Structure 1
Amino acid sequence: MKTYGKLGENLLKKYVFPYFGVRHEDVVESAGIGVDFAVIRCSNKFMIVSTDPITGVSKDIGWYAINVNANDVATSGNRPKFVVNVILLSDHEKPSSIKKISKDVDEACKLLDIMVVGGHSEVVKGIKNTILVVTAFTFAEKYVTARNAVEGDVIMMTKFAGLEGTSILAREYMNYLTSIDSWTLKNALNMIKEISVVKEAETAFSTGYVHAMHDPTEGGVIGGIYEMSVASNLGFKVYAERIPVAEETKKICRILNVDPLKLISSGVLLMAVDPKGEMYVKEELEKNGVKVSSIGYFIKGERLITSRGKSFVVEKSPVDELWRLKKRIL
């Protein structure tokens, strides 16, 4: 394999999705492109379950892992309650690393009211960085998925593009960012504290106007919108100038030659919103201090990004800029 990051849509459809074992009637929703959780009927409730590894980060991996997985479940409109962790330690890690990861997991879980109910830990020969895989789940009475977007829905997003990626770049590539002032760098590093979308997803879902939600991880905001469109079998028209990018992100991305719209964006919540409820959703989120922007629409037909009056077709989800940068620098 010559590329890093998530497998592309074609590889998934050809080599992964056909091999799901036995089909059970209790499975209401299977995970897929743009749908990061499965839904299983359990008596009078639904179990919502998701899993994700953290692979491109060497610092604060426990914090990232819990928040990223909690976000996946939260895009159903429900708060995650339980996690199972698998820690695969690089053989050059010190024993103190285990404590640091476990404490980070514990801290993140306490802030989100989540319990660790199981897991596995081992040292693995030959891997450069420790890998943490988390499975998060909860039980709920109702939910939405990224498959529920409707033609004409407004595409809304919270916060700023490249939020998580900015924090990662500031940590992992600090030696390349010596021209950036300490205040900007500190703000960029602190963006890790904003990567949870659990509360805002709950708030948005409670309005009754949100048809679908998704948290854009690898591939950034553009990748996340593309995945939602695939899940809902729709096109989109997104206006690049309407996508908010923080000044810290702009400065770091300019130096590292990174596109912030294609940079991993945990902490951003993408929503497909009934146009009738656009302002209400915005008002409810802003009451909680969450920045909200309307950046386009879901449509029938092509998947388009409009920038400076010109439209470009998005044919596939982009490779995340984090991986592209890592490949370029290493």
Structure 2
Amino acid sequence: MRLGKITENALKRSVLKQLRTEFKNTTSAAVGTDCAFSEKKRTFSTIVPVTVNVQDAAFYGVVKAVNGLVSQGLIPDHVEVSALLPIDAEEQVIKKIVADAIRAAKFCKVVYSGGHTEVTSAVNRPLVTVSAVGSCDDVSKSSGLFDSKPAPGQMLVMTKWAAMEGTAMLAAEKYQELTGRYPAPFIDDAISLREALFVGKEMDIAVESGITAAHDLSNGGVFAGLWDMAARAGCGLKVDMRCIPLRQETVEICEFFGLNPYHLLSGGSLLLATDNGEKLVADLRENGILAVVIGELVEGNDKVIINSDETRFLESPQADEILTVLG
């Protein structure tokens, strides 16, 4: 199998098919959603293994796991962190993992309730996995956005910037290389993007403004998120590539490493489906959140990306670009 997130077909064949066979009358995981849930108690959970080789894996893992709940309109409660360490790991390694996890939990306003730590010969570098658990505010109502679906005719709004998560990771992990070409303050600004990865504020605004679906743009980047949104809606889409917001730091760092920013980790950015894109954008911007209408969902199966005079079809999600540098 390829590196990174498994393909949609493999997910359907080897994971979702088994779930639907064994639990025919139970609603749970689905393509294009960011969490799963227990139908009986309406308790929701996410699980995030951080396979990218970064020093602050626990920070990214906690934020990503919590975002998986928040992006479905749910209320996160606590996180648990599992750390598998290689046999040559020093105690300071686990100390940093826990410190990073606590910092992220405070950042996301959730409880770090514990986890598991083990030294094993099965790994050659620390492997961090984070689970987040939450609920909806009223079990008698729809479970956040989990029960709603986007539909043709709705507009697609994107918040913040594409590839901000991957940009922050690369800037921190490859600092010496990058500051050999770019000014240190420029790369420091790129690293600081990780402080904008939590999506709680914008989700509160978006739910109040009126949305039918939300997707945290993480693994595979913006293009993977667009594919997932269309799959969830069961239709096609049309997106203007020029409207997708990019930071200059992202452009320069991606050019430095020869990466496609539209296939790069984009955690912290949301893809939102709504009947009124202009209102949603205005509501978000009024609260200091960058937001842009980038396209719409359309009838049929064609997933079209327009870039000036060039038109092409969106391909199924590829392995995340960051794995070519930090895999």
| TM-score scaled by length of structure 1 | 0.91
Tell me how far 1:126 sits from its aligned partner.
4.3
Query: Aligned partners of 2:118, 2:162: CA distance in 1, in Å?
Result: 35
- 1:235-285 Cα shifts (integer Å, max 9, x gaps): 11111100010011111111111111111000101100113xx23222222
- State the match for 1:191 in structure 2: 193
- State the match for 2:309 in structure 1: 309
How many residues align? The count is 319
- 1:172-225 Cα shifts (integer Å, max 9, x gaps): 223432201111100011111111112211221122x20000011111011111
- State the match for 1:36 in structure 2: 34
Tell me how far 1:155 sits from its aligned partner.
0.6
Q: What SS is found at the alignment partner of 1:320?
A: coil
Q: Root-mean-square deviation (CA), in Å?
A: 1.8
Amino acid at match of 1:271: L
1:55 aligned to 28, 47, 51, which one?
51
Tell me how far 1:16 sits from its aligned partner.
2.1
1:80 aligned to 73, 76, 80, which one?
76
Question: In 2 relative to 1, CA 16–41 (structure 1 residues): closer, same or farther, beyond 3 Å?
Answer: closer
Unmatched 5+ stretches in structure 1: none
Q: What SS is found at the alignment partner of 1:192?
A: helix
Amino acid at match of 1:133: T
- State the match for 2:215 in structure 1: 214
Q: What SS is found at the alignment partner of 1:196?
A: coil
1:133 aligns with 2:134: no
Percent identity reads: 28
Query: Aligned partners of 1:49, 1:71: CA distance in 2, in Å?
Result: 11
- 1:76-100 Cα shifts (integer Å, max 9, x gaps): 1123111222111232321011111
- 1:53-111 Cα shifts (integer Å, max 9, x gaps): 11103211121111000110011112311122211123232101111111111121123
1:323 aligns with 2:319: no
Query: Aligned partners of 1:255, 1:326: CA distance in 2, in Å?
Result: 14
1:160 aligns with 2:161: yes
Tell me how far 1:14 sits from its aligned partner.
2.0
1:18 aligns with 2:14: no
Contact 1:155 1:296 in 2 (8 A): yes
Contact 2:34 2:72 in 1 (8 A): no
Tell me how far 1:229 sits from its aligned partner.
0.8
Contact 1:34 1:146 in 2 (8 A): no
Q: What SS is found at the alignment partner of 1:315?
A: coil
Contact 1:195 1:267 in 2 (8 A): yes
Contact 1:58 1:130 in 2 (8 A): no
- State the match for 1:247 in structure 2: 248
Spell out the pairing of 1:160-309 with structure 2 (5 A cutoff): 160-177=161-178, 178-207=180-209, 209-275=210-276, 278-301=277-300, 302-309=302-309
Question: In 2 relative to 1, CA 146–169 (structure 1 residues): closer, same or farther, beyond 3 Å?
Answer: farther
- 1:142-174 Cα shifts (integer Å, max 9, x gaps): 411396111111110110100000011112223
Amino acid at match of 1:34: G
Query: Aligned partners of 1:76, 1:136: CA distance in 2, in Å?
Result: 13
Question: In 2 relative to 1, CA 218–236 (structure 1 residues): closer, same or farther, beyond 3 Å?
Answer: same
Query: Aligned partners of 2:203, 2:147: CA distance in 1, in Å?
Result: 13
Question: In 2 relative to 1, CA 42–19 (structure 1 residues): closer, same or farther, beyond 3 Å?
Answer: closer
Contact 1:153 1:298 in 2 (8 A): yes
Contact 1:146 1:214 in 2 (8 A): no
| TM-score scaled by length of structure 2 | 0.92
Contact 1:91 1:126 in 2 (8 A): no
Q: What SS is found at the alignment partner of 1:109?
A: helix
Query: Aligned partners of 2:67, 2:204: CA distance in 1, in Å?
Result: 11
Contact 1:86 1:133 in 2 (8 A): yes
Contact 1:70 1:198 in 2 (8 A): no
- 1:22-56 Cα shifts (integer Å, max 9, x gaps): 4175x43x22321121233346xx32211111110
- State the match for 2:146 in structure 1: 145
Contact 1:147 1:228 in 2 (8 A): no
1:111 aligned to 107, 111, 115, which one?
107
Query: Aligned partners of 1:31, 1:123: CA distance in 2, in Å?
Result: 31
Question: In 2 relative to 1, CA 249–13 (structure 1 residues): closer, same or farther, beyond 3 Å?
Answer: same
Contact 1:147 1:231 in 2 (8 A): no
